Every structure is written in structure tokens, then in C-alpha cells.
Structure 1
């Protein structure tokens, strides 16, 4: 998920700042949070850097210890490593849990949906979605292990389900929580009439609701609502069922897009040449200028006029230059990545290896530009 990736990168920035102040413990906490949200190579590199620092510091301390205290130092170092491992496993500190517990308690005891989401009564639909995504990510039971996280997550979902629906929000602004028993009375007296409001029995989100929450669909749904009648028994009623015509109307645009993509694959013709030999392109040819080699099919027919041949070979040269540029870019990125990793890990050997890496495609592109400019 893209929101998880942005949050993960934010934690990595905090980890880098902590490393600048030599606060390895804080940096490791941020790295763990980042990897929980979205694993990246950068997080692994920062973790390796911290391990390298710890090993380097441990080696310096060991050389200053006498032989008589070396066994005690080993035991202390072992205890430190096991404690560090436990700390990584429980990535939440006592301070983190305390702040989360306070936030969870506030959400569970709060009766105002606007306060739960942390928005004003004039908040727009975009503001509601932004607040919901942030809180749902923070208090999702898979991410937040503090006591009461599940109840807080459900309370956040209830608040959003009401405020994101224009009709429900209008009634909530007018009646507040009094609308729920009013709905129950209307439901009993008039069968399936009236509007549905989120009640305490509706804690689970269906796949359709999750889609509606994140993509803004507010039309009729097929959700079956559940109301407890008797212990261990449930009464199911449906609200605003969709007809076959409505369903077909909704999926028709997606069906058209699918058909257009299928038809497009048949309309696109195969290229006349390839720069590299493949199963179909086996006949080797060379351009008259620049001596660029390329491959064509067995049934290839060369352009009949000089102008057409010049235009064709010009396209071959352009494709060759574009291919060299792409390869050059990848080689440069690989080299810069190794240099950055060596600097972060303070590894001189790795830095020298990175500096010695060559970029043959870049060299070939430069030579080509000088020769055929």
C-alpha cells in the first residue's frame, strides 16, 4: 500500500537523524517500525550500519580489557545482545504503549464521531478520508498491540461509516446518537423502511465496505445487515438491493476497458527489427552508417528506395542510442547505490570497490556521440 510506504520512509528519515546523534536504540526502533509498514533495502542498510557500529565499538572495548576480565566482558556482551534482540522483537517501548493506551482510552470513551476522527464539523469528504486512513493505520490490530486497539479501531470505523455518508451525517448532526434507537423503532414498525445507522452489533467490515471507504463509492450496496434477536440467532435483512440492470450498468465501463485493451493487442504490429537476437529475429544486418548491428525476421523486405532505407536505418540508430542510455543509467544507479551504502556503513573497502566500478555503456555512449555527432 502506498500510504504504508510513505510512513515507512518517514520513519527511516527519523532513524537517520537518530544515527547522527549516535542514538542507536532510537534509530533501531524507527527501523523496526518502518519494516513493519513496508520493508525496504534502505532499512536493511541502516540496520547493517548499526550492527557495524556496535561491532566496531565492541572490538575497541575488548582491546582495552585485560585477560582477567575478558570472560566477564563476554558474558555482559551476550546479555546485551539478548536484551537488544528482545528489544527488536517488542519494537514498541513502554513510552509508546503509554501514549497509545491514552489515545485508545480517549477514543473508546468519546461519544462524538468528529472528535474520534479528530476533524471539525465542517470537514470535507477528503479530510474525513485522510483522517480515517491515518487513524486506521495507527490503530489497526495488526500494527498496534496496545490493549484495546481492536475496540478503538472499530470505533474509528463506526465514526467514518456515519460521517462519510451524506444522509447519515446530516441525521447525526441533527439528532446525534439519539438517531440509533429511533432507527430501531422505525425498523420494527415499518419493516425495511428508513435509513440504516451503524450500531454496536455491526463491528465487521465487508470487502465491499472497505472498497467504499477507500475509493469514495457512496451508492447502494448489497450488504446484509445483522440485528441480534435472540442469543445465538441473527435476523438478516437487506437494505437498498441492487437490480440486475444496476449491476450491469456499474460493471459495463470496466468491461468496455477490458475489451478495448484486448482489441489493442491485436492492432499493434510487431517491430521490424530488434537490437538483440531473438527466436523470430535471427537475420543479422548492419546499418550503412555507424555500423550498428540489428536483427530482422526471415521474411524481412528491405526498403525499396534510398529515402525509405535512410529513414529505416535512422530508426535503428535512435533505438540503439536509447538502449545505451537506459543501460548507462542502470550502471550509474548501481554504482551510486554502492557508494551510498559504503558511506552509511563506513566501510572503506566497499567504498573503494564502488569507486572502481566501471560503466561500459556510458563509455560506449560517449564514444558514439563523439564519433557520429
Structure 2
């Protein structure tokens, strides 16, 4: 995997250029290839942005007074209005978007899709709108209600049975603001937040779901139960993979000899004696019999190996720290978050600093 790092970085560079040229499909192709070759935080962030929104970051935070001047002319810094029920700011575009949702005539118009839109198009539209109207990001008056309406529209239309019923009903029942008793058939069986977490939080709703009926929230227990398997054979089939892993792990520990040293920062089982290499003063831990087994040339060769492993670990960790920091910058640029950008600037790279220190000492 390590030998693929250079090729993965080349793919990321190509993808970044493609995003600059408004070619998200090409960028996604090379980013996925980069992740297969050598997973990185930078490629992960870019793929997330493309998957959620389908377009490239809009904000530039290159630093200095020039960038701040550009930021003042950007979408992020457009004139803001103050909400009547919150001290947080919102833009005129956000307020217009909320009005559009409220004026929509049916669920399809809420999601901005045609009546024959396939499942994947519904999903893409929901992803984009849910991020745009989430209460943590959109503080315009009515944004929370719009967020709920978007979640309800997707939950109904993504359910084949409910969608068929919805398409067959009259215009009065289809209207999102209709107060008809029958309109309860088109309320989602999942809360907007639970639905959002399914898409973006990596989890699924709990056993108790918040159900919105006629604008009021109530809690209900899910009636569906997982069927229970019966019989000893079914149980054995379930636990067999775990048993195999335990047996293989135990055999590997018995057959593989323990390393001579440990590069951990504290003593551990079998490695209680702390030592420093003669050349780079790298700390490492050894067993109690180490001093009697390694002397002279053997000790010198071992310490050379210790230092090589230590420097190799520093290089890997330095690269990971840089990737993580760059990922923070990408998120800050996309969301126009100056606080996140400043946190990214302050984020340290201790492994890189230590590597530079060692390199300087070797050439000093």
C-alpha cells in the first residue's frame, strides 16, 4: 500500500485540477482511484463534497489581506439580515429559499424534481437540500419548518407504496399544507433529524422514532421485530467467524517471536527497560535480558534499525498530519467557515517538526 502513495497523490492533483475546471465526474473518478491506491483525508473530503453537492468549493482562504478583501466580495460575505427569533445571521438567498419551499404545491416541487424522478435523483436532491436547510446552517425564519418539509417529502416519495398512494390522490390531499385528515397518510414515519443522520451521520434511527403528524411531534415504538433464529446450528453459524478469528489470533501469537524492542512512549508488557540510541537519542524499550544479549556491533546494528524505524514512522505520521490539516482547509473553504480556517492554521504537525529537527541534526 505504501508504494502507491505517489500515484495516489498524482491522482489527487489531477482531480483537483478537474474540480477547478468544473469537471466533477472526472474528479470523482480520480479521487476514487486515489482512495483505492492509498486512502487519504484530502481525497475523502473532496469525495464527500462532490457526493453531497456535486459542485466545487467556492471560497478562497489563501491568507493575507488580499484574501480577506476577496472574501468581502464573496457569497459568504453578502449583506446579512437578522432573524426575529434568533441572534444568528442569515442571507437573503436563504430567506428566498425558505419561501420557495413554503410555496411549493407538492412534494415533488419541494424536492425540485419531476414526478417521474427515479430513486437516485430523489436521493441527490434530498442530500443537497437537507444540507442547505439544516437548522445548524440555515438560520432564516421558517428554515426549520422547511427542513422538516424536505425530510417528509423524501421519506414519502422514497417509499414505493406511499409514493404510489400519493400519486393517486387528489390535488387537495397532495398539497403539503393541506389540513385534510387523510393527509396524515403522507406523513413520514421518521423524524427529519433521524433521516438526516441516516444520510450524513453514519447511523440509523433508534427504536423510538419521532413521527410528525399535522405539525405535531409524537413518539412511537417501532412495531417491527427482527425474527429470531432458533436452533443450535443457527447459533453456531453466527459465532463461527468470531471463533475462527480468535483461534487464528492465538496461533499467530504463539508462532511469531516477539520483537526485540518497542518504540512506544511508555513501558509495556515485556518491554520495561528504557534506552536511548547513541546517535539520534531515540527512546525505545527493551526486555530485562537485553543488555546481556546485545553488545558491541550487535547493539550498534540494532540501534541503527531502531532509528530507521523511528524516522520511517515520523515520515508516515508527518504525511498523515499534513493530509488531515489540508482536509480541514478544504472544509473551511467550502463552507466559508473562518473559524474552521483559523483552527486549520493553528493545527500542529509535531511529527513533521521532529522530522525536521532530526534532518537538521544529521546535516549539522
State the TM-score, normalized to the length of structure 1. Answer: 0.46
**Structure whose alpha-carbon radius of gyration is higher:** 1
Structure with bigger helix share is 1
Structure number with the bigger relative contact order (C-alpha 8 A, sep ≥ 6) is 2
